Structure 1
Amino acid sequence: MRRRTLLAQAGALSLAPRLTAAAAEPGLKTLRVAFNTGEVGFDPPLVSDQASVVINAHIFESLLTYDCLARPALLRPLTAAAMPEVSADFKRLVFTVRPGIFFADDPAFKGRPRELVAADYVYSIKRYYDPQVRTEHLYQFENAKLLGLSELRRRAQKSKQPFPYDEPVAGLRLLDRYRFEVNLAEPDPRFVHVFAAPGYSGAVAREVVEAYGDELMAHPVGTGPFRLKTWRRGSSVVLERNPGFREQIFDSLAPPGDAQAEAMAVHLRGRRLPLVDRVEVSIIIESQPRWLAFLGGELDQLLLPSEFATLAMPGGKLAPYLAQRGVQARSQVGAEIKHSYFNFDDPQVGGYTPEKVALRRAMALAYDAPTEAQRVYQGRAVAAQSLLVPHTYGYDPVLKTELSGSDRARANALLDLYGYADQDGDGYRENPDGSPLTLRMAATSSQRQRQINELWKKSMDSVGLRIQFEDGTFGELIKRALAGKLMMWGFTWTAGTPDGDFFLGMGYGPNAEQSNDARFRLSAFDKLYERQRRLPDGPERLALMQQANKLLLAYMPYIPHLHTINTDLCQPRVRGFMRHPFARDYWRYVDLV
């Protein structure tokens, strides 16, 4: 799961940038791309930002992946020799690693080739349980209840001793050099998808972790098609083809009727991957310079900033001046949710009493998400009806809720009913007990975020609620959010698997301090969530998911805002760029002509 494509990022540039990546070497195919978020680093358990997650997906490899063209999403082996053996009760999985896969050369291996083996995946998963590895992704494994690992973690926490990586546990057991098994305390029919996400299960080598220690974030070593060549923090990342990458031949089939996918399949069929020699990643925070860099031919691919949607895609079609240049465009609604959360530990907006629920619901009614979609995102977004996102199991495309539009009359009536009144005559409501009420929304500093702040201010003023904004960098706000120090914040979660479980898990009590930023803890919800996790897909599970979703809508720990419409623009020379809803290693398939 990719955390977090921020509502808008820090930084301010007004002119087209001089891209800072090293100049491409003559004769090498070099793909030039940009991110609007600064990268944090390259150790999978420690990162969740957009740039780091995508870069890591091209360096580290999980056992499984998603077919790059199949829709709906289709799992297939990547470093595994075949799909895993899964027991009938969904409590045991056996994976077999394909022999003959090697890590990229690195001094940590002392000049010897280092083959990928089953022990590498066992070690990589155990790292999430190490108290010294401060990850926010541990819940991905703890929720599945791998036998013995949580106990191992608690013992290490209590003893203050190093985590015992070599101690056998029933939940992760080596069977031989290439095979290992996973044993769960409870059925989890969809746990297999964790092994298709390099951000959770990408293999790292123990020698590399121990060799680089605190510097590991700058020394990623994986089995993937690319390796890190240079890194200028917050400015540029250059990847180069991994010269030891195994033979991988493109063999995906396009879904019928998708002309762009069919063209990609024809161009790449039978060819060895990857097809480019370098990928130059520039960090360009603001939208205008990214747009100008693409127009000037300095970028080969661009995720279209919504501010320029009317220029590039008027009426949803590629503008003639771009089409005449041979620019390619592909649009799809993202498997993501743009939302705001309330910290339930905060005395102003948190809590489960009727008046606190009324306050949050009134704010959701007052906020004008459709206006945000049209003005801020230039129509390149659709209103969200709940936290569940398109392309995932459990999402209901016909569901309509009160989040469909702003209703300030109902919001005012709700606040009046529960005693939020302007008692001192300053034009703003106080709490029912007469104490001051000031909402505090965290925000980064950018042009888009300023637009969103203005919309929040106008919406809250319309119902007599005072709101203030607390600025901070993305990294600072992440730390404060995980520590429970923010009252409210907004960003985007993007799905990592084709299932709605993760988004319901944002309300699961044990996930507080991880994906549950709201720190929402409701026993009735937790029981529904746990029951649906144990069931295979079908009517019974869907009914439980719908009940759980209704509780989130009722208590409103999160305000779902929008699902964005993502449009990728590519220069004429690009072939094979196809953004997948869940896989992140799309540069593996790109060619330049």
Structure 2
Amino acid sequence: MRRGFAHAALLATLLAVAVPALSAPPSDADAAAAAKVLRYSFRVAETGFDPAQISDRYSKAVSAGIFEAPLEFAYLARPFQMRPSTAAAMPEVSDDFKSITFRIKPGIFFADDPAFKGKKRELVAADYIYSIKRHYDPKLNSRNLYLLENVKILGLSELRKELMAAKKPFDYDRPVEGLQLLDRYSFRVKLGIGDPRFINQFADSAFLGALAREVVEHYGDKIMEHPVGTGPYRLAEWRRSSKIVLEKNPNFREEFYDEQPPADADPVLKAQAATLKGRRLPLVDRVEIAIIEENQPRWLSFLNGEADVLEEVPAEYVSIATPNGKLAPNLAKKGLRAVRFPYPEVALSYFNMDDPIVGGYTADKVALRRAISLAVDVDKEIRLPRRGQAMAAQGPFGPGTFGYRTDYKSEMSEYNLPKAKALLDMYGYVDKDGDGWRDLPSGEPLVLAYATQPDSQSRQLIEQWQKNMDALHVRIEFKTAKWPENLKSANAGKLQMWGVSWVATAPDGDTFLALGDGRAKGSANKARFDLPAYNALYEKQKLLPDGPERQAVMEEAAKLMIAYMPYKISVHRLFTDLAQPWVIGFDRNVFLRDFWQYVDIDTERLKRQRKGS
């Protein structure tokens, strides 16, 4: 396997050096000149585009360009700043954080759609109330419902339970105390729990973006295929797991570029932002997204000029693109830009706590999970499959979020094979039949089942898992499926183990603690961990303002997660994005999914480089 990747790296290097000017058919250049097109790729397939039904990062990225929440994160501001989007101003929040009042700007319209029967449809406050209610509809099985139930929007959970018990459809017309329509453009959210940070959820348009009820009712079960929002783009074409095309929404209101880079920003970015100031958004006419699951084709596609932006250079090519953390001279000479950043995420493998082999809360089951964790060589994972583009995780909090500490140290990152073996021996996980493999204390074979995907990065990671478990004398089998299929199985509790990542949508560590929240089983909590002591700490920290007291409670919860080990949290990944020289204004805001509206394409430069001038 190593030889194959070395060959790929050599090929990529030769291409990068040998192609001084990018080439493509003239028709492509003509099309790009006629309409500004931003092209890039996802490495994982999407599942659909309904905020109440999606939870994967890639579907959410597309949905974020179509739908709009009341608030948003400023594209270039650092530290990160929230600002109004469809809201006329920042909302009024009560002193106890239990009441949030929004006023929506008049004159915002949805994209045209047959559901509106030829009429322009204005965004109103009732659309946000309806969209929030959709997450409570049992039919939709929202994976983000826990984020709303955590703060107990008054009356909604009770309504959901009542109708589920009566086996009746969800009643969208039933008034509830927690969602109050004040007038055409104003609504109030009333909470049972005053969470100082709940307002962050209203900056996630792929979660609380507004849908029009008539569109949802018009398309019914096909709503995942027909997203209609007020955002800068609308869905123009979708070939599932292959290609997604977004086009400028003609009804998008007048919004103008006014992004302010921080004082220490890249001088090139500063100059580009100044150039774009005052331009009407969105800046590009179309966004074309290809689904390319294998790293090598994604990398070569970018080098050949078939993609304008390469998000997250594959680990095996980072040393080619940015040796020693700096853009390679041959790429810099061509005018490419590199943006390097830590992601506010955790890369983890979870154990299904309902599984008869790896699940459970008894001492022997805890010992098994801890031993498996101790046998995982995280440093080798970082050096080999991740090519140095990660740092060991000490706990559940991602970089850049409240709760994360650079000086925190725990057993989560410990690699100690003798200790792992001794722990298994102590609890009876020994070879009982002489075949060289450990068995369960009952004498039955101990076999781990780990779900994975068919891409090269996943193959390299499970190769490392295989070596780790071989050294522990524990059998492990790998079950390969496409990512959306694994996600569906994980949500249903059908996978014993799976390796995924979890990303914060706001600069706060609550989203990581939600991985262990008992009420979030099947959504954020893929491990289905449910420990009363942990749940109590999770609830307690939600009520506290940011500060030492909240930090202490969050770390106490983290200690329980580490002790019971429902997750082996391995690393925080480091990423590098690349942008072609004709892309203007690109930067990475880790809390803003849809950067597309803020970047421009220099079509003249693109034409020159395509023609080799």
**TM-score w.r.t. length of structure 1:** 0.95
Alignment of 1:216-255 (within 5 A): 216-255=223-262
Alignment deviations for residues 47-74 of structure 1 (CA, whole Å, 9 cap, x no partner): 1223211111111000000111122211
Once the two structures are TM-superposed, the CA of residue 26 in structure 1 deviates from its matched residue by: 4.8
Residue type matched to 1:314 in 2? Answer: P
Of residues 529, 547, 559, the one that matches 1:538 is: 547
Q: Following TM superposition, by how much is the alpha carbon of 1:374 offset from its aligned partner in structure 2, in angstroms?
A: 1.5
Is 1:444 matched up with 2:453? yes
Whole-angstrom CA distance in 1 between matches of 2:448 and 2:291:
33
Other structure's SS at 1:47 match: coil
Counterpart Cα distance in 2 of 1:199 and 1:224: 11
| Alpha-carbon distance in 1 for matches of 2:440, 2:470 | 16
Which of 412, 424, 440 does residue 403 from structure 1 map onto?
412
Q: Aligned ranges for residues 48-87 of structure 1 at < 5 Å?
A: 48-87=55-94
* Aligned residue number for residue 281 of structure 1: 289
Deviations 1:215-238 (A, max 9, x none): 211211111111111111111111
* Residues 191-220 of structure 1 deviation map (CA, whole Å, 9 limit, x = unaligned): 101100012110010111011112211211
Note if 1:563 corresponds to 2:572: yes
Amino acid at match of 1:502: T
Which of 443, 464, 467 is matched with 1:434 structurally? 443
Cα distance, 1:579 vs structure 2: 1.6
1:135 counterpart (131, 134, 142): 142
Partner of 1:202: 209
1:501 matches 2:510: yes
The one-character-per-residue Cα deviations of 1:409-445 (angstroms, maximum 9, x if unpaired) are 2211222222221121111112233332111111112
Q: Distance in 2 between matches of 1:32 and 1:450?
A: 27
Partner residue, 1:212: 219
Q: Which moved more, 1:201-210 or 1:368-377?
A: 368-377
Which residue number corresponds to residue 276 of structure 2?
268
**Is the Cα contact below 8 Å between 1:69 and 1:261 reproduced in 2?**
no
Aligned equivalent of 2:113: 106
Cα distance in 1 for residues equivalent to 2:78 and 2:324 = 26
Contact 1:251-1:270 within 8 A present in 2 as well: yes
Matched residue, 2:301? 293
Shift in Å at residue 155 of structure 1? Answer: 2.0
Say if 1:264 and 1:25 are closer, same or farther in 2 by CA, change over 3 A: closer
How far 1:393 moved relative to its partner?
Answer: 0.7
- Superposed CA deviations along residues 300-332 of structure 1, whole A, max 9, x for unmatched, are 000211121111111111111111111110100
Q: CA deviation at 1:405?
A: 4.6
Q: Secondary structure at the match of 2:135?
A: helix
**How far has the Cα of 1:190 moved from its partner?**
0.8
Contact 1:37 1:50 in 2 (8 A): no
Higher helix share: 2
Q: Is 1:417 matched with 2:426?
A: yes
SS of the aligned residue for 2:52 comes to: helix
Task: Report if the CA contact (8 A) 1:130-1:163 is conserved.
Answer: yes
Partners of 1:41 and 1:47 within 8 A in 2: yes
Q: Identify the residue that residue 126 of structure 1 maps to in structure 2.
A: 133
- DSSP-derived class of the 1:372 partner: helix
Q: Please tell me whether residue 527 in structure 1 is matched to residue 536 in structure 2.
A: yes
Contact 1:391/1:581 (<8 A) preserved: no
Measure, in 2, the Cα distance between the counterparts of 1:482 and 1:50: 15
Q: Secondary structure at the match of 1:45?
A: coil
Q: Alpha-carbon deviations, 1:376-430, whole Å to 9, x = none?
A: 1211111111111011111111112233352212211222222221121111112
- Residue number in structure 1 paired with 2:371: 362
Per-residue deviation, 1:537: 1.1
In the other structure, the counterpart of 1:10 is: none
Which stretch of the first structure deviates more once superposed, 412-421 or 315-324?
Answer: 412-421
Query: Which deviations, in whole Å up to 9, do the C-alpha atoms of 1:14-54 show, x marking residues without a partner?
Result: 999x99xx964651111111111112111111112232111
Q: Distance in 1 between matches of 2:221 and 2:330?
A: 50
Q: Choose 559-568 or 410-419, whichever is displaced more.
A: 410-419
Tell me how far apart the structure 2 counterparts of residues 539 and 448 of structure 1 sit (CA, whole Å): 39
Give SS of 2:102's match: strand
CA distance in 2, matches of 1:186, 1:89: 9
> Are residues 1:372 and 2:381 paired?
yes
**Pairwise CA RMSD:** 1.8
Letter in 2 for 1:287: N
Once structures 1 and 2 are overlaid, which stretch shifts more, 23-32 or 51-60?
A: 23-32
1:91–1:183: 8 Å Cα contact kept in structure 2?
yes
CA-CA distance at 1:284 after TM superposition? 1.0
Aligned to 2:47: 40
The question of 1:157 aligning with 2:164 is answered yes
Using the TM superposition, name which of 94-103 and 23-32 deviates more: 23-32
Secondary structure of residue in 1 paired with 2:588:
coil
Query: Does the 8 Å CA contact 2:411/2:562 hold for their aligned counterparts?
Result: no
Deviations 1:279-316 (A, max 9, x none): 11111111111111111111000021112111111111
Are the equivalent residues in 2 in contact too, given 1:230–1:237 (CA < 8 A)?
Answer: yes
The alpha carbon displacement at 1:375 in A equals: 1.0
Give the whole-Å Cα distance in 1 for the aligned partners of 2:352 and 2:58.
Answer: 26
Deviations 1:163-209 (A, max 9, x none): 11111100111000010000011111111011000121100101110
SS of the residue 2:130 aligns to: helix
Task: Check conservation: 1:59, 1:223, Cα contact below 8 A.
Answer: yes
- Residue 131 of structure 1 contacts residue 156 of structure 1 at CA under 8 Å; is this kept in 2? no
Q: Give the match for residue 5 of structure 1.
A: none
Report the equivalent of 1:90.
Answer: 97
1:442 and 1:489 in contact (8 A); partners too: yes
Q: Deviations over 1:500-550 (max 9, x none)?
A: 101101101111121111111111111111111111111111110010011
- Note if contact 2:127-2:212 (Cα within 8 Å) is conserved in structure 1: yes
Question: d(CA) in 2 for partners of 1:533 and 1:264?
Answer: 40
Q: State the alpha-carbon separation in 2 of the partners of residues 273 and 589 from structure 1.
A: 7
The letter of the residue matching 1:272 is: R
Q: Conserved in 1, the CA contact under 8 Å of 2:342 and 2:573?
A: yes
Look up the equivalent residue of 1:527 and give its one-letter code: A
Deviation at 1:334, TM superposition (A): 0.6
Stretch deviating more after TM superposition (130-139 or 549-558): 130-139
Pick which of 251-260 and 177-186 moved more.
251-260
The AA in structure 1 aligned to 2:241 is G
- Per the TM alignment, residue 267 of structure 1 is displaced from its structure 2 partner at its CA by 2.5
Measured in 1, the distance between the counterparts of 2:197 and 2:203 equals 11
Which 10-residue stretch deviates more, 45-54 or 63-72? 45-54
2:46–2:484 CA contact under 8 A, matched in 1: no
Matched letter for residue 285 of structure 1: E
Partner SS state of residue 506, structure 1? helix
Residues 1:572 and 1:522: Cα distance change in structure 2 (over 3 Å): same
Residues 103-131 of structure 1 deviation map (CA, whole Å, 9 limit, x = unaligned):
11111111111111100000000001111
Q: Distance in 1 between matches of 2:70 and 2:548?
A: 30
Distance 1:253 1:294 in 2: 28
Q: Residues of 2 paired with 1:247 and 1:102: CA distance?
A: 11
Q: How many residues align?
A: 577
User: Which residue of 2 is the match for residue 9 of structure 1?
Assistant: none
Amino acid at match of 1:122: I
With normalisation by structure 2, the TM-score equals 0.92
Partner residue of 2:561?
A: 552
Once the two structures are superposed, residues 58-99 of structure 1 have per-residue CA deviations (whole angstroms, 9 ceiling, x without a partner) of 110000001111222111100000001000001110011011
Which residue does 2:492 correspond to in 1?
483
Amino acid at match of 1:48: S
Match of 1:181 among 174, 182, 188: 188
Residues of 1 paired with 2:224 and 2:530: CA distance? Answer: 33
User: 1:261 deviation in Å?
Assistant: 4.4
CA contact (8 A) 1:36 1:283 kept: yes
Q: Deviations over 1:235-257 (max 9, x none)?
A: 11111111111111122222121
Amino-acid identity (%): 53
Distance 1:532 1:261, change over 3 A: farther
Mapped partners of 1:385, 1:269: distance in 2: 42
